[in-house]
Amino acid sequence: MIPDPAQETNPTGAIKDKAAEMLGTATNEAGSALNKAKEKTEGFAEDAKQKIVDDAKQKEESLKDKAEAILDKIEDKAENVWDKVEDKVEDVWEETKHKAEELKDVAEDKIEDLKEGAKKLWDKVKDKFDKDDDKKS
Q: What tens digit of pLDDT does each residue of 93-116 get?
A: 999 999 999 999 999 999 999 999
With pLDDT > 90 as the criterion, what percentage of the chain qualifies? Answer: 54
Mean pLDDT of all residues in 53-61: 95
Rounded to two decimals, the pTM is 0.44
Between residues 1 and 15, which one has the greater pLDDT?
15
Q: Flag whether pLDDT at 56 surpasses 90.
A: yes
pLDDT at 102: 95
- Tell me the CA distances in angstroms from 120 to 6, 13, 112, 130, one per residue in order: 166, 156, 12, 15
pLDDT class for 10, splitting at 50, 70, 90? low
pLDDT at 1: 47
Q: Taking the CA of residue 118 as centre, how many other CA atoms within 13 Å lie in the half-sphere pointing to its CB? A: 6
- Please say whether the dihedral angle defined by the alpha carbons of residues 97, 99, 102 and 103, taken in this order, is positive or negative: negative
Q: What single string gives the DSSP state of each residue in the chain?
A: -PPPTTT---HHHHHHHHHHHHHHHHHHHHHHHHHHHHHHHHHHHHHHHHHHHHHHHHHHHHHHHHHHHHHHHHHHHHHHHHHHHHHHHHHHHHHHHHHHHHHHHHHHHHHHHHHHHHHHHHHHHHHHHHHHHHHH-
Q: Flag whether pLDDT at 5 surpasses 60.
A: no
Q: Give exposure, 86-103, as e/b (b: 16+ Cβ within 10 Å).
A: eeeeeeeeeeeeeeeeee
pLDDT at 137: 62
